[in-house]
A and B are shown apart, each in its own frame.
Chain A
Amino acid sequence: MNRTIGRMAVLLGGWLLMVVQAQALTVGAKTPDFSSQDSNGKTVKLSAYKGKYVVLEWHNQDCPFVVSQYKGKMEKLQQVWTKKGVVWFSVISSAPSMEGSVTPEKANEDVKRHGAFPTATLMDPSGKVGHLFGAKTTPHMFVIDPKGILIYDGAIDNAPREDAMSDKNEDGQPYVNYVDQALTQAQAGQDVTVKTTAPYGCHVKYKD
């Protein structure tokens, strides 16, 4: 009897593990749907944006890497691409009382203060959306194509140590903004050359 229950538990455990694995998000795979509250109290559902490119940007306004991007680079990128019809969500997954955790009002103030252009700021204090995408750092960037396929997952650019608007990174390599590159190539009907990179920056301040 006990053995049967044990076996069933193992089977069930295995099944659960498979379900969890099936959710693993890889470039080239369809992104899972989610709904989340934005900073204006509106419910945002990812699947409602099918037919458009969607950028997800993990955000923590107190993280130095985010601060350095928001000295012009990130705002400009948001402005350029949202004007071209791309949907841009800044996602805040900081757990309550952790660094970067802000009220919706404060989130809106920050957007205004920066002169930033996200389509919306998503409030994700439970980390639900962050865990769904496996967001690790701020900034960690995801680009989704109009069919809902993930086409880029990784760092914002190849210059983690540069905070100036420089055309070279610290190794003397030409500056590459991977999100800009992925959107440009995908919209021109080309294959995205760099599909994944290691995201750098502060860790996302998850509750668990």
Chain B
Amino acid sequence: MSRDLRIRFVLTLIAVLLLFTCSKPGFAKGSSDRDKAPHVWVRLVSEQTFLNPDQTAIIGVFFMMEKGWHLYWKNPGDSGLAPSIKWILPPGFRAEDLMWPLPEKIHIPSLTDYGYRDHLLLMAPLRVPASLKTGSAVTLKAEVNWLVCNEQCIPGKAVLTLRIPVEKGVPKVPFKDTSLFAWGHSNLADPLPKDWTSKGNTTRQGFDLNFMTGPQKIANADFFPLDPNVLDNEADPVFKGGIASFSLGLKKSDQLLRTPASVRGLLIAIDSNSRKYGYWIDVPIK
């Protein structure tokens, strides 16, 4: 908890630094790396101060929300809409799939959504072409669309641009962005550990996912489904711990018409020290 609070404090500090003190007056709307929309600040950010030819860099859009407002995960849950980023990049560049950080469950009367409060750093790997000349600079552009909600929902959009040099050498990470991207990376899910195994079966209520965890002791777990309409978002998964194993009972959605081949999503495993791990899973259902 105290760790969470500390992270929140540091992030708010970073956000304030990024969004308020670094504002560049004189930039016309649409040619800046940042924008202010109703209830959301957005900024296009790069992990490195310069790019190397033939590398995979990390870029991202940092969202800072007003208190009480939230954005959505890849699967928004019962309502809402995930943010989208359309990259407009120089020839030869390619942005890969967005790296969705671990979301939280947002409970509203009768419904459960999956999303983010306060801050969201939506990162993407950026393939930089080998043919790029050093000593030049490139302009990266992102058309960002989102839906931000509290009790109300407001769609927003921004066109952000970032000019970044291309140089040889070890890419530098600016001091103020180190902790931002470090936080971003620490908030991503991993594949299931190699020494774990998983299997799934149908139940009257929905599905049971069973995990053999090896030496790791898991005290609790939660699940975020990747596919809409498979699970009842409101029903909390039922955790049952065993010896070097645990199972998660999931309730299926009323909208589910046939048993899916597998249940895909994000498993949140919490160990006995309250450490939280996120794992992408795809468990075949028998």
Chain A interface residues toward B at CB < 8 A: 24-28, 62-65, 95, 98-99, 127, 130-131, 134, 136-137, 153-154, 160-161, 170, 195-208
Interface residue range, chain B: 20 to 34
Q: Is the CB of A197 within 8 A of B81?
A: no
A208 to B107, CA, bound (A): 11
B136 within 8 A of A: no
CB contacts (< 8 Å) of A64 on chain B: these are 147, 153-155
A136 to B110, CA, bound (A): 8
Report the minimum CB–CB distance from A205 to chain B (whole Å). 7
- Nearest B-chain residue to A134, judged by Cβ: B254
Q: Is the CB of A27 within 8 A of B152?
A: no
B113 within 8 A of A: yes
Known contacts A200-B80, A203-B108, A203-B149; A153/B154 CB under 8 A: no
CB contacts (< 8 Å) of B111 on chain A: these are 136, 203-204, 206
The contact of B109 among A25, A26, A195, A206, by CB within 8 Å, is A206
Known contacts A161-B81, A161-B145, A195-B257; A202/B152 CB under 8 A: yes
CB contacts (< 8 Å) of B110 on chain A: these are 127, 130-131, 204, 206, 208
A130 to B110, CA, bound (A): 10
Report the minimum CB–CB distance from B149 to chain A (whole Å). 7
Known contacts A62-B152, A99-B152; A137/B79 CB under 8 A: yes
Q: Is the CB of B84 within 8 A of A170?
A: yes
Q: Is the CB of B254 within 8 A of A208?
A: no
The contact of B151 among A28, A98, A160, A170, by CB within 8 Å, is A98
A208 to B111, CA, bound (A): 9
Chain B interface residues toward A at CB < 8 A: 76, 78-81, 84, 108-111, 113, 145, 147, 149, 151-155, 228-229, 254-257
The contact of A161 among B78, B84, B108, B154, by CB within 8 Å, is B84
Q: Is the CB of B78 within 8 A of A197?
A: no
A99 to B152, CA, bound (A): 7
Q: Is the CB of B153 within 8 A of A24?
A: no
A198 to B79, CA, bound (A): 9
A160 to B76, CA, bound (A): 13
- Nearest B-chain residue to A131, judged by Cβ: B110
- Nearest B-chain residue to A155, judged by Cβ: B228
Q: Is the CB of A203 within 8 A of B255?
A: no
A31 to B228, CA, bound (A): 22
Q: Is the CB of A153 within 8 A of B255?
A: yes
Q: Is the CB of B228 within 8 A of A198?
A: yes
CB contacts (< 8 Å) of A28 on chain B: these are 257
Q: Which 6 A-B pairs have the closest CB atoms?
A: A198-B228, A203-B79, A202-B153, A206-B109, A24-B254, A137-B79
Q: Is the CB of B153 within 8 A of A198?
A: no
- Nearest B-chain residue to A203, judged by Cβ: B79
- Nearest A-chain residue to B255, judged by Cβ: A196
CB contacts (< 8 Å) of B151 on chain A: these are 98-99, 205
User: In this complex, which of B76, B80, B110, B147 has the most chain A Cβ atoms within 10 angstroms of its Cβ?
Assistant: B110
A78 to B125, CA, bound (A): 45
Can you give 15 contacting A-B residue pairs, CB < 8 Å?
A26-B257, A64-B147, A64-B154, A131-B110, A136-B111, A137-B78, A161-B145, A170-B84, A197-B229, A198-B229, A201-B153, A203-B79, A203-B153, A205-B151, A207-B109
A98 to B108, CA, bound (A): 13
User: In this complex, which of A24, A62, A202 has the most chain B Cβ atoms within 10 angstroms of its Cβ?
Assistant: A202
Known contacts A196-B229, A206-B111; A136/B78 CB under 8 A: yes
A26 to B252, CA, bound (A): 12
CB contacts (< 8 Å) of A153 on chain B: these are 255
CB contacts (< 8 Å) of B84 on chain A: these are 161, 170
CB contacts (< 8 Å) of A205 on chain B: these are 109, 151
Q: Is the CB of B229 within 8 A of A63?
A: no
Q: Is the CB of B257 within 8 A of A63?
A: no
A170 to B79, CA, bound (A): 19
Q: Is the CB of B79 within 8 A of A199?
A: yes
Q: Is the CB of A201 within 8 A of B79?
A: yes
A160 to B228, CA, bound (A): 15
